[in-house]
Amino acid sequence: MTSITIRAASAADGEALGRMGAALARLHHDYDATRFMLPDDIEAGYQWWLRREIDNKKAVVLVAEREGGLVGYGYGRLEGKDWNRLLDRHGELVDLWVAPAARRAGVGEQLVEAVVAALLERGAPRVLLGTAAPNVAAQRLFARLGFRPTMVEMTRDAPPGAAKKSRPGRGRPSSDG
Ligand SMILES: CC(C)(COP(=O)(O)OP(=O)(O)OC[C@H]1O[C@@H](n2cnc3c(N)ncnc32)[C@H](O)[C@@H]1OP(=O)(O)O)[C@@H](O)C(=O)NCCC(=O)NCCS
């Protein structure tokens, strides 16, 4: 079996990160096109955002490398107390992606464990993640790694024509807007 290296992402990985982030966004948009937005130029948006996060002390951006090529990435960040979610400070596993050809070989597990370890090391008392309801493959992996289900998100769309159009924004969707 070819060995996998998990390492911190660098600015030079920006293009690959943009491509993988966009693939993750498209997967979610395909699950539910109204819940998961797909902004124009999604590759550039992810590239911009993840490169910015590489320099953020509260974020962890890791890549999985095999034979000199990137086959996945994991992205997490420290989050503060959130009264609306009844959630004390914590780490959030935000993104996880493994290239289709590299799946079922333990890359996802290594990325999750490495992002979680980095968040715990930076003081997170626990790590949370969200996973799309139909994504049973990811849920199986997370359950196997010790994550328990704690919240169920539900979405109801406005009737057609009732919602105001949102203005275009810059970059990758993020929890801080
Ligand atoms: C989910 C994902 C990261 C798993 O990566 P991976 O490298 O295949 O994961 P690993 O090889 O470490 O672990 C595989 C485990 O994941 C689960 N799994 C992965 N693919 C699965 C599938 N198609 N069906 C069911 N379970 C699956 C199983 O528990 C599997 O363990 P097993 O092989 O012993 O049955 C990868 O499929 C992926 O990138 N998917 C698209 C993006 C995504 O869903 N990201 C998570 C968003 S929350």
Q: What is the mean pLDDT of the chain?
A: 94
Residue 27 beta carbon below 6 angstroms from any ligand 1 atom: yes
H helix or E strand, kind and range, residue 69: strand 69-79
- pLDDT greater than 80 at residue 64: yes
Distance of CA 138 to the CA centre of its chain: 12
Distance separating alpha carbons of residues 55 and 177, to the nearest angstrom: 18
pTM for the whole thing? 0.92
Would you state the pLDDT for residue 160?
Answer: 87
Q: Residue 2 pLDDT > 90, yes or no? A: no
Whether 3 and 60 have beta carbons less than 8 Å apart is answered as no
CA of 80 to the centre of ligand 1 (A): 29
Residue type at 102?
A
Say whether 45 sits in a helix, a strand or coil: helix
**Helix, coil or strand: residue 7:** strand
**Nearest one of 56, 58, 75, 68 to 18, comparing CA atoms:** 75
Q: Residue 133 carries which side chain, given as an amino acid letter?
A: A
Task: Let me know: does 39 contact 29? Beta carbons within 8 Å.
Answer: no
* Minimum CA distance residue for ligand 1 atom 4: 108
Which residues 6+ apart lie within 8 Å of 78 measured at CB? 58, 59, 89, 90, 91, 92, 119, 122, 123, 124
Q: pLDDT tens digits, residue range 110-126?
A: 999 999 999 999 999 99
Give the ligand 1 atom nearest the CA of 107.
7
Q: Relative to the CA of 104, which ligand 1 atom is closest? A: 11
Q: Which atom of ligand 1 is nearest to the CA of 143?
A: 29
Residue 171 has pLDDT above 90, yes or no: no
Question: Residue 163 has what pLDDT?
Answer: 78
Position in ligand 1 atom list of the atom nearest CA 103: 8
pLDDT 10s digits, 135-148? 999 999 999 999 99
Question: What is the amino acid identity at position 77?
Answer: R
Q: Among 94, 95, 129, 140, which residue has the most ligand 1 atoms within 8 Å of its CB, making it the best to mutate?
A: 140
Q: Is any atom of ligand 1 closer than 6 Å to the C-beta of 145?
A: no
Answer with the residue of higher pLDDT: 168 or 41: 41
Residues 71-103 pLDDT 10s: 999 999 999 999 999 999 999 999 999 999 999
